[in-house]
Structure 1
Amino acid sequence: MRAIRMMTVGLAVLLTTVGCAAPTGVGGDGGTARDGRSIVIAAGSEQESLNPILGYAPDGASKIFDGLVARDAGLDLVPALAQTLPTASPDGLTWTATLRDGVRFSDGTALTAQDVVFTYSSVIDPKVDSTIASSFDALESVTSPDPRTVVFGLKYPYAPFAQRLTLGVVPAKAFEGQDVNTAPFNTAPIGTGPYRVVEWRKGDRLVLEANPEYWGPAPQVTSATFVFVTDDNARAQRMAAGEFDATALPPKLAKAYEGREGYQVVQSESADYRGLGIPSDLPLTSDPAVRRAINLGINRQAMIDTVLAGAGKPAATPISPYLAEWYDPAATFTYGPDEAGRVLDAAGWVRGPDGARSKDGVRARLPVLYPGTDSLRKELALATASDIAKLGIDAPVEGTTFEVMLARQKETAAIWGGGDPYDPDTATYTLLHSRYIGQDGYVNMTHYRNATVDAALDRGRSSLDPATRKAAYDEFQEAYVADPGWAFLVFLDHTYVMRTGWSGMQEQVEPHDHGLLHGPWWNLEKWAPSPA
């Protein structure tokens, strides 16, 4: 299931007409000779901060920082800054980690347990604007009985806590007398990772070079430049012009590269979903039957065949097939527009002479928003709205920004993305538990509430018994498909276009966050130049 399929690819005439020239020295066709020691990658998004405390790279692969643990190609946890994997007490309330000896930050200062204490204590500090604080709800205290030992105290047993320890560790000394939210560190970080930041031009590029203080083997790819290009078509055009060595592209744009010597398309399976978040507070969609009808009326396989060019799998819940231990293949929605119509009729939303549905004088209407620079989400939004419109529900589509999507989350549906292949708790809890209704940010954006779902999610995260956890997530999936809060559409296969010239890439099922962090270059520090 974790195969990466590589194909020789090339470029359509449309893309070769672009007149951009590659900047000197970045490895493009217009630059200096390429030796494989540097790479230029176009990323579709840019971080607001490079501080792990504020939310940078919480799932690892940050290039700049290390967590106590990391993940190998098979997503198994392996020691990183910790000498061995952290261990839990029998009651699950205490986790202990022993630090690796001799680790230094990129400025030469030694890593100590106090740095770990500062990092995690800051994440849960209410004065710190951490975007990942909700992921550490279980954490109550962090202490260091000696310079190499860290002890985490939890409020309740939290089975996947070790998965949270991929977060990068920062040097406490760098924040002395500083406000974490505004510290210079946030744009000029100091880490223990294989690379260090030498330049960050916001809105343009991030330049990394090999960290001479790195505790692991020295990277053979000594320079990595990430250029930020949010528009999919612009990335494709600039890749065609020779500006980049690699980039993520929607599948249909990547296909335009078939036949060009010296390039390859890498297709990586992922737990990254795209879904229609359906507001639970509208007169139309406050009824679970209506939300179920919308799910039944969406042709997911058609989206995969056309929009994704076959590169994906249908989704029904945020638990992906790559969480095989937890995934319930029976938790699905079979495409059935006729059945969807009957459900809507029974719910009182009946068609009028013009085919439009209404109830008690209220017309059935559900606007669908998507981020305007994302061509894939645009196509998914149009396909989803078209299917919903066939049910008799007016579904106008609008391209906008994530900020507007959040501001209008009570009144409109929107195409969101997320998901990870690490644990069902990290994929579901903050997204669907009712405790997050009304909180800021990307948590329970639809204001979904279901007592059975809440109870199952609580039981799944707090039990240390695998059988109990399995039963809890089976119950969650059964309850959720009976009362859905979203129309999860597809799990994407991430597609990338890359020059040849490097060895050492390893296949890995990817999370939602990819391009800058995760991607074929998740283990860039282990790559080596090879003949093109």
Structure 2
Amino acid sequence: MRTVLGFVLLGALAVAGCSVPEQGPAGPPAMVIGAGQEPDNLNPILGYAPDGSSKVFDGLVDRDARLALTPRLAQRLPEASPDGLTWTATLRQGVKFSDGTPLSAQDVVFTYKSVLDPKVNSTIASRYDAVAEVTAPDDSTVVFKLKYAYSPFAQYLTLGIVPRKAFDGVDVNAAPFNTAPVGTGPYTVSQWRKGDRMVLKANDGHWDKAPAIKTVTFVYVTDDNARATRMASGEFDATVLPPRLARTYTGRAGYRLVQNPSADYRGLGLPSALPFTADPKVRLAINTGINRQAMIDTILAGAGKPAATPISPYLDEWYDPAATFDFDATAAGRLLDDAGWRIGPDGKRAKDGERARLPILYPAEDSLRKDLALAVGSDLAKLGIDAAVEATTFELILKRQKEAAAIWGGGDPYDPDSAAYTLLHSRYSGQPGYVNMTLYNNSQVDAALDTARKSLDPAVRKQSYRDFQKVFTGDPGWAFLVFLDHTYVMRDKWNGIESQVEPHDHGMVHAVWWNLEHWSPK
């Protein structure tokens, strides 16, 4: 199959030739992007672009190329009281939504209160567990009262702000706004044909600066090979590709290959409810028996780093380089022996008549997760584990979370709390959605994450995250595999491109085009 797809891609490249396809008549600067992900909706309340860089909305704060927080709708960075329980933001004056409505502090209050409303199906409500109250003493001031001191709270104020009046008498979950939004951002939504494309138009009345690129079209193509082919044929100005496909453009005239670091992990979630992986020794054996470096060298073509926890090496203040798993198949076998899972005459392990079985699921259209799943399955098979690999959907993966492992992705480079807390704390075990999908439960991990979350002392936080990483690598609830570098192919015709350490999400927002509103044609 790979050979056939390779010939398809090479054929497309041959048709496209060695240079960029000819351009049509000149017009207002426009860009077409081949995106691998399509949002479910465009409402920040429901979870759209919560970490900033939205093209349609602005948050109170945003991030620069170095990921430092910068004021956005706030005049300056929000200020915390000495006890860390009160955060105050003063709004920038003169900001209007794209429909001409002035921004008010009441819009900010409505946005955050709606996220926390139990009647609203927000996928990001858990991010704001610390919030007790949001108020507006006047039209320019927003005050957040917290239940406990929460040092990284400002990191969560990147959420886009919506106009309150758009939801008068309307159910937020089903509002027309969710697909035809109004924001304060540098672009507006001109058209959205679900499953196909979204067209953004420059907001020439933007309070900051009107974008030079006047039209941006995101074409949604989930299949990696299809995006590569359509990029080669000249349909796209830029696209995201797995490293091995992206490398086919190396040295090609008129194209630019971009490789950005990220905190985006891929990992094998190990179900704690499955009898085989309920044993910590088995989970440790699986982690020890996986050859992560081989995955990086082959599947990622060198574009990544090995992972052991969800805390990325790019979170250098918090990352513990000692928290690793050295590949040792012999040691992994001994751990399985010690756990009672012994090799039989057929080369397969069993215990008390039960086979050592761990199905591995991955989303069918994701070629990278498929390759990782196959590599993991191969490594585990060498240990005598029946690790059949199956393609399916995210919905079915969640339904089978107690009976099968799965290749998941996530992570961000902003703060270890957002990377680890909802993923591994036992309070989220069994809750719906993408939180603690493996039902992991370790009281020492809980204690370390709780201490780090609530302390205002950087030294205490740092030690708590070191404690967390040490405990977790002794009792892993996942087999975190790799942190990816995100790779892109672009037509070499734009100025303003800046590298940024990226999170998991790199569809419309946190990709190489994260600051597209500041780009200009060469």
> After TM superposition, is the score higher than 0.5?
yes
Contact 2:13 2:232 in 1 (8 A): no
Please state if 1:474 is matched with 2:466.
yes
Who is 2:415 aligned against?
423
Query: How many angstroms apart in 1 are the aligned matches of 2:7 and 2:21?
Result: 17
- Single out whichever of 405-414 and 255-264 deviates more from structure 2: 255-264
Q: What TM-score does the superposition give when structure 2 sets the normalisation length?
A: 0.97
After TM superposition, give the deviation of residue 34 of structure 1 in Å.
5.7
Q: Secondary structure at the match of 1:366?
A: coil
After TM superposition, give the deviation of residue 213 of structure 1 in Å.
2.4
Query: How many angstroms apart in 2 are the aligned matches of 1:201 and 1:73?
Result: 31
Query: How many angstroms apart in 2 are the aligned matches of 1:410 and 1:13?
Result: 40
Please state if 1:128 is matched with 2:120.
yes
2:30 corresponds to which letter in structure 1? S
Q: What TM-score does the superposition give when structure 1 sets the normalisation length?
A: 0.95
Query: How many angstroms apart in 1 are the aligned matches of 2:182 and 2:404?
Result: 41
Q: Aligned pair count?
A: 515
Who is 2:434 aligned against?
442
1:64 corresponds to which letter in structure 2? V
Contact 1:251 1:308 in 2 (8 A): yes
Q: Secondary structure at the match of 2:374?
A: helix
1:167 corresponds to which letter in structure 2? L
Who is 1:142 aligned against?
134
Query: How many angstroms apart in 2 are the aligned matches of 1:33 and 1:365?
Result: 60
Q: Secondary structure at the match of 2:157?
A: helix
Q: Secondary structure at the match of 1:369?
A: strand
- Single out whichever of 420-429 and 13-22 deviates more from structure 2: 13-22
Query: How many angstroms apart in 1 are the aligned matches of 2:294 and 2:308?
Result: 15
Task: Give the counterpart of 2:320 among 314, 328, 335.
Answer: 328
Residues 342-353 of structure 1 mapped to structure 2, 5 A cutoff:
342-353=334-345
After TM superposition, give the deviation of residue 228 of structure 1 in Å.
0.5
Task: Give the counterpart of 2:110 among 112, 118, 122.
Answer: 118
Residues 61-80 of structure 1 mapped to structure 2, 5 A cutoff:
61-80=53-72
Please state if 1:45 is matched with 2:45.
no
2:11 corresponds to which letter in structure 1? T
Task: Give the counterpart of 1:248 among 200, 217, 240.
Answer: 240
Please state if 1:15 is matched with 2:15.
no
Query: How many angstroms apart in 1 are the aligned matches of 2:465 and 2:77?
Result: 26
1:123 corresponds to which letter in structure 2? V
Residues 170-249 of structure 1 mapped to structure 2, 5 A cutoff:
170-249=162-241
1:191 corresponds to which letter in structure 2? G
2:447 corresponds to which letter in structure 1? A
Q: Secondary structure at the match of 1:209?
A: strand
Query: How many angstroms apart in 1 are the aligned matches of 2:391 and 2:406?
Result: 10
Task: State the Cα deviation string for residues 46-67 of structure 1 (Å, max 9, x = none).
Answer: 1111000000000011110000
1:382 corresponds to which letter in structure 2? L
Query: How many angstroms apart in 1 are the aligned matches of 2:441 and 2:14?
Result: 50
2:412 corresponds to which letter in structure 1? D
Contact 1:431 1:445 in 2 (8 A): yes
Task: Give the counterpart of 1:373 among 340, 365, 372.
Answer: 365
Q: Secondary structure at the match of 1:497?
A: strand
Query: How many angstroms apart in 2 are the aligned matches of 1:483 and 1:513?
Result: 28
Please state if 1:315 is matched with 2:289.
no
Query: How many angstroms apart in 1 are the aligned matches of 2:281 and 2:10?
Result: 50
Who is 1:510 aligned against?
502
Contact 1:16 1:241 in 2 (8 A): no
After TM superposition, give the deviation of residue 33 of structure 1 in Å.
3.8
Task: Give the counterpart of 1:271 among 258, 263, 269.
Answer: 263
Contact 1:246 1:496 in 2 (8 A): yes
After TM superposition, give the deviation of residue 21 of structure 1 in Å.
11
Q: Secondary structure at the match of 2:408?
A: strand
Contact 1:433 1:453 in 2 (8 A): yes
Query: How many angstroms apart in 2 are the aligned matches of 1:19 and 1:325?
Result: 43
After TM superposition, give the deviation of residue 40 of structure 1 in Å.
0.4
Query: How many angstroms apart in 1 are the aligned matches of 2:464 and 2:36?
Result: 36
After TM superposition, give the deviation of residue 20 of structure 1 in Å.
13
Gaps of 5+ in 2: 1-5
After TM superposition, give the deviation of residue 16 of structure 1 in Å.
5.0
Query: How many angstroms apart in 2 are the aligned matches of 1:418 and 1:60?
Result: 16
Query: How many angstroms apart in 2 are the aligned matches of 1:421 and 1:331?
Result: 17
1:497 corresponds to which letter in structure 2? V
Contact 1:279 1:447 in 2 (8 A): yes
Who is 1:99 aligned against?
91
Who is 1:487 aligned against?
479
2:487 corresponds to which letter in structure 1? T
Contact 2:264 2:503 in 1 (8 A): yes
RMSD: 1.6
Task: Give the counterpart of 2:151 among 153, 156, 159.
Answer: 159
1:200 corresponds to which letter in structure 2? W
Contact 1:21 1:30 in 2 (8 A): no
Query: How many angstroms apart in 2 are the aligned matches of 1:99 and 1:134?
Result: 25
Who is 2:3 aligned against?
none
Query: How many angstroms apart in 1 are the aligned matches of 2:54 and 2:357?
Result: 42
Query: How many angstroms apart in 2 are the aligned matches of 1:20 and 1:140?
Result: 60
Residues 521-532 of structure 1 mapped to structure 2, 5 A cutoff:
521-530=513-522
Who is 2:381 aligned against?
389
Contact 2:9 2:225 in 1 (8 A): no
After TM superposition, give the deviation of residue 222 of structure 1 in Å.
1.2
Query: How many angstroms apart in 1 are the aligned matches of 2:270 and 2:22?
Result: 47
Query: How many angstroms apart in 2 are the aligned matches of 1:168 and 1:124?
Result: 15
Task: State the Cα deviation string for residues 238-291 of structure 1 (Å, max 9, x = none).
Answer: 111111110000001111223321001100000000000000011100001100
Query: How many angstroms apart in 1 are the aligned matches of 2:193 and 2:385?
Result: 45
Gaps of 5+ in 1: 1-11, 23-27
Query: How many angstroms apart in 1 are the aligned matches of 2:147 and 2:474?
Result: 32
After TM superposition, give the deviation of residue 19 of structure 1 in Å.
10
Who is 1:25 aligned against?
none
Q: Secondary structure at the match of 1:518?
A: coil
Contact 1:21 1:243 in 2 (8 A): no
Task: Give the counterpart of 1:294 among 286, 289, 307.
Answer: 286
Q: Secondary structure at the match of 2:244?
A: helix
Contact 1:36 1:501 in 2 (8 A): no
Query: How many angstroms apart in 2 are the aligned matches of 1:494 and 1:366?
Result: 29
After TM superposition, give the deviation of residue 155 of structure 1 in Å.
1.1
Query: How many angstroms apart in 1 are the aligned matches of 2:260 and 2:409?
Result: 17
